[in-house]
Amino acid sequence: MRYDDSPPSPESASSVSPDRRWFTRRSGLAVGAAVLAPTLLAGWVLVQLTTGAGADDARPPRIVMPAAAPSPTPSSSAAPAAPATPQAKGPLAGKTVVIDPGHNTGNFKHTSEIDKKVDIGTNRKECDTTGTTTNAGYMEAEFTLDVSRRLRTVLEAKGVKVVLTHEANRAWGPCIDERARIGNEAAADAVVSVHADGVSSGNRGYHIILPAKVKGGAADTAKIVGPSRDLGERIGSNFARTTGSAPANYLGSGTGLVVRDDLGGLNLSTRPKVFIECGNMRDAKDAALLTSPEWRQKAAQGIADGIVGFLGG
Catalytic residues: 277
Partners of residue 62 on adjacent β-strands: 47
Which CB atom, from 179 or from 298, has the smaller least distance to Zn ion? 179
Which CB atom, from 150 or from 179, has the smaller least distance to Zn ion? 179
Q: How far is the CB of 45 from Zn ion (least distance, A)?
A: 52
The interface mask with Zn ion, positions 102-121, x = CB under 5 A, is: x-------------------
Footprint (CB under 5 A) of Zn ion, residues 50-89: none
Q: How far is the CB of 127 from Zn ion (least distance, A)?
A: 14
Which CB atom, from 55 or from 114, has the smaller least distance to Zn ion? 114
Cα–Cα nearest to 307, from 216, 221, 228, 234: 234
166 scored as a contact of Zn ion (CB under 5 A): no
In the Cβ-directed half-sphere of 132, how many Cα atoms lie within 13 Å? 18
76-87 burial code (b ≥16 CB/10 A, e <16): eeeebeebbeeb
Footprint (CB under 5 A) of Zn ion, residues 120-139: 131
195 scored as a contact of Zn ion (CB under 5 A): yes
Stretch that binds Zn ion, among 14-22, 38-46, 195-203, 205-213 (CB under 5 A): 195-203
Terminal CA-CA length for the chain = 43
Please provide the size of the chain in residues: 313
101 scored as a contact of Zn ion (CB under 5 A): no
CB 55 within 8 A of CB 27: no
Q: Count of residues binding Zn ion (CB under 5 A)?
A: 3
Residue with nearest beta carbon to Zn ion: 195
Q: How far is the CB of 60 from Zn ion (least distance, A)?
A: 44
Which CB atom, from 137 or from 309, has the smaller least distance to Zn ion? 137
Contact footprint for Zn ion (CB under 5 A): 102, 131, 195
